[in-house]
Amino acid sequence: MQSLYASIIRCLDVGGSSGENLKRLARSIAGDLVNGGSKSVCDSVVFSGLAGATVPAGVVILDDNKVEWKTTSSVLIGDEVIARANKVGATALGIGKLTTLPSSVHGVSGVTNTRVAVKGRDKDSDSVIRRKVKKGAARFQRSGIERISHEVMKVSGVFDISLLHNRTSVVVDGVQPHSFAAIVAGGKDQEVLDAIATARSCGVGDNVGVSGLGIEVTGSAKTAQGRATTATMFRPTEVLINITIIVSGTNSSTHASLTIALKDSIKGYFIGESGLLPLSKFDQDGLLIGDDVSGFKLATPCNAVIANDGILDGVTVNNQTHVNIGKSELAVVTDASISVIYI
């Protein structure tokens, strides 16, 4: 039954789906692992004005960044009330930042907040959901080649595996007949090789010595029974992406700090270290094996940094708008490969 379920999962177009369709598929596989996000909440909103007046529920207040917050209940002037951001995500709100009422409210002359907001959670991006689907599907992959994904994804530091399996008697996409090729990103070589040896079926080749599948790593390993054997995996070939960010309307005194922040933002997008940013709103698991790079998508982490301090005029990747990444490749960036041009 588990093998049948895993086969059904493989038939679902998870890789080709996005948005709501992807979420629908993901929830059926990964269940509660899929994060739909939550809104930031501030529990210290205080209205000033006519003593004894009651402020109705649902009053809209704008913060310094023009984000709308809405009160959840009615409240007397001078008492505290809860307000919730109107958008899902980790919206930050400092003390005294809720001060603008876009519409007049009877008896109210002002508003503020006396404590910071509790940040919400960002929705999982499509790449995050796909990885969670992969992990969710791995729970049902307990036999044959399918079990390799399950065992390898359990290895500390592994963030992706692309498992190419050829069940035919001819070479397909560079993979030898009746064999598999495990392309793995992250984790220690030895631990990954041991995981493959633990799950690999007897008589199935692992494409040792075959070129075109990435960087080969072959070494000694141990089976689940503790027997010595050899195993082969492939590391994805890293493709360096040269990124050019064009920004206008900025103050030259901010260029040095803005350049650093933009580079950190882009690196966070690529490798999934959202801690590089004040708000973790990007692909928390970074780009995976075979993921293309789009200048359009990179506008998101750039705009989060630039905000109201300038205008993003464009982002190019390798002097174009889109870079195709092969099935055994992984896109990477460095400080030196990111350029910021101010006009």
Instruction: Give the start-to-end residue ranges of the domains of the chain.
Output: 39-113, 143-235, 239-342
CA dist., res. 262 & res. 338, Å (int): 9
User: Taking Cα atoms as reference points, which of 146, 113, 138 lies closest to residue 40?
Assistant: 113
CA dist., res. 28 & res. 216, Å (int): 35
Amino acid at 29: I
CA dist., res. 149 & res. 157, Å (int): 14
**Helix, strand, coil tally for the chain in percent (to 5):** 30, 30, 40
**Would you give the distance in Å from CA 266 to the centre of its chain?**
12
DSSP designation for 134: H
CA dist., res. 308 & res. 311, Å (int): 8
pLDDT at 134 (0 to 100): 63
**Would you give the distance in Å from CA 20 to the centre of its chain?**
16
Q: How far is CA 89 from CA 57, 73, 86, in A?
A: 22, 22, 10
Regarding the domain delimited by 39-113, which CATH topology (the fold level of the hierarchy) does it fall under? Elongation Factor Tu (Ef-tu); domain 3 (2.40.30)
Global confidence as pTM: 0.59
Per DSSP, the three-state class of 65 is: coil
CB 287 within 8 A of CB 267: no
Structure tokens at 231: 């195993």
CA dist., res. 76 & res. 177, Å (int): 75
CA dist., res. 60 & res. 115, Å (int): 18
Structure tokens at 208: 């040792």
Provide the residue count of the chain. 343
**b/e 19-43 (16+ beta carbons within 10 angstroms → b):** eeebbebbbebbeebbeeebbbbbe
Q: What is the pLDDT along the chain (343 residues), one digit of tens a residue?
A: 444 444 444 444 444 444 555 555 554 454 445 566 788 999 999 999 999 999 999 999 999 989 999 999 999 999 999 999 998 888 889 999 999 999 999 999 999 999 998 888 777 666 666 666 665 555 545 556 778 888 898 898 888 889 888 888 898 888 999 899 999 998 999 999 999 999 887 778 889 888 889 999 999 999 888 899 999 999 999 999 999 999 999 999 999 999 999 998 898 888 765 433 333 444 444 688 998 999 988 888 888 888 778 999 999 999 999 999 999 999 999 999 999 999 9
CA dist., res. 75 & res. 71, Å (int): 9
